Amino acid sequence: MAAIPSPSYAITLRLEAPTGPRTTTNLVAAVGATGAAVTAVDVVESTDTQMVVDISANARDDAHVGEMRVALEAIDGVTVRHVSDATFLMHLGGKLEVRPKVNLRHREDLSRAYTPGVARVSLAIAERPEDARRLTIARNTVAVVTDGTAVLGLGDIGPAAAMPVMEGKAALFKQFAGVDAWPVPLDTKDTEEIIRIVKAIAPAYGGVNLEDISAPRCFEIERRLREELDIPVFHDDQHGTAIVVLAALINALKVVGKAIEDVRIVVSGVGAAGSAIIRLLVGQGARNIVGFDRNGSIHAGSDYSDDHREWLVKNTNPEGFAGSLTDGLVGADVFIGVSAGNILTGEDVSRMAEGAIVFALANPTPEVDPIAAAEHAAVVATGRSDYPNQINNVLAFPGLFRGLLDARASAISDEVLRASAVAIADVVADGERNPSYIVPSVFDAAVAKKVAAAVVEVVRAERAASGEEPPLTGALPLGAGQE
């Protein structure tokens, strides 16, 4: 799949060129001839003989930037002074900062925000520890925890290199749901140490978002933290992906006129994301799912060393299919890929059932070329922003945590995940839904609000069903000047 110019490679070349009637035209033509998308031309300085010009353009990759430079310097008299990268400029000094929510204008403000007045609040929390989630930043703060072992498609690059990704995640939390999130990169790969550290820092947070931790350790870390903490713990690589996949599939099935109970679903990749997707689809009513790893289908009669594959053996592949992914795709209604790029062809997709649905979500290269898949499938989705129907976790996690924090939830149930998916799907109205629009835009403000509302409703219903008392939500602890 050929790369195309992208805003993620937005660069500006500052150059010197001889003054002339066709100077800027020639410069733009040279850059455009390399396949770049020119976005701006600015004359910075100009004399009778020389000009300094900034050419801004979107490139494909670093090599393409080099091609642009060579093309410009091939013009007589042109010298490239400097190349700046907008993405790196955005990251200078990081993407986050801390600002106080209260004004400290005079001595009275200081005496309430800090000593001596703050001691009264500390004593109130000491008497009622549960009030920490009302009277501190824990009320609205999430820890974004990673060990840097499975970052995007980059693999194990370490916690420091993972920081820009975690900062971006935190920025999305704030932008889309008003949640204060903070990166917590851990310089350890030891499962027990990660669990101990997260438990130790938990008092400062109202929830934990586990991010980019490699399988199978991520399963144990999430399971243990959910058991041992009284705040929600969410592994986004598993459940965030699963939520958005289910939302997209709900609408895709409506487009092709099929029911989830009746379709055969093939899932390529049964790691963190794949396992979570399958579990959520089963919860939604799917009856015929076949999972595939690099060795072929997951089926009864084979020995598996992990609990997740054993669960798949017991709960999927009712027909006992044993074989390769390409053979398993024959006659399938739905393909969901969370595995590796370019493992299928358009011809493979052509062997699926009529009205096929293809979600090729490997990044940056999907399992099958989306254009080739679209020649045979009725609906195609990817994880990329340069094709329709992007399956993007940002549709899920901001609103999910907004609802969990607002409801003062202590855990995340499967029903919370399912309800979040349904809420996302419902943002796309009946009159809007079509093969190229099965999920809403990440910039649709209604998404986070609807997801949060759905989460709050489920948490409150579950709390009422269990007989649990609802948490206090007032600003003051009991007895602190209230009558």
Coil, helix or strand at residue 328: helix
Higher pLDDT, 3 or 389: 389
* Tokens read off for 299: 């089926």
pLDDT digits (tens, 9 = 90+) for 65-82: 999 999 999 999 999 999
The reply to whether omega before 364 is within 30° of 0 (cis) is: yes
Residue with tokens 């939830």: 409
Average pLDDT, the chain: 93
- pLDDT interval class at 178 (50, 70, 90): very high
Nearest to 265 by CA among 254, 277, 257: 277
Strand 264-268: give its sheet, edge to edge.
296-297, 288-293, 264-268, 334-337, 357-360, 379-382
- pLDDT interval class at 2 (50, 70, 90): low
Residue 304 has pLDDT above 90, yes or no: no
Span 405-428, mean pLDDT? 96
DSSP of 443-475, one letter per residue?
Answer: T-HHHHHHHHHHHHHHHHHHHHHHTPPPPP-SS
- pLDDT interval class at 95 (50, 70, 90): very high
CA 43/CA 274 separation, integer angstroms: 51
Counts of helices then strands in the chain (DSSP H, E): 18, 14
pLDDT digits (tens, 9 = 90+) for 217-226: 999 999 999 9
Helix (H) / strand (E) element for 401: namely: helix 397-406
pLDDT at 476: 47
- pLDDT interval class at 305 (50, 70, 90): confident
Whether the predicted model's global pTM rises above the 0.85 cut: yes
Half-sphere exposure of 57 (CA within 13 A, CB side): 31
Span 265-283, mean pLDDT? 94
Helices 414-427 and 445-466 cross at an angle (nearest 10°) of: 150
CA 336/CA 464 separation, integer angstroms: 36
Residue 50 has pLDDT above 80, yes or no: yes
pLDDT at 479: 41
Q: In angstroms, how far is CA 178 from the centroid of its own chain?
A: 16
Q: Are 63 and 46 in contact (CB under 8 A)?
A: no
What positions carry a catalytic annotation? 114, 169
Report DSSP state, residue 264: E
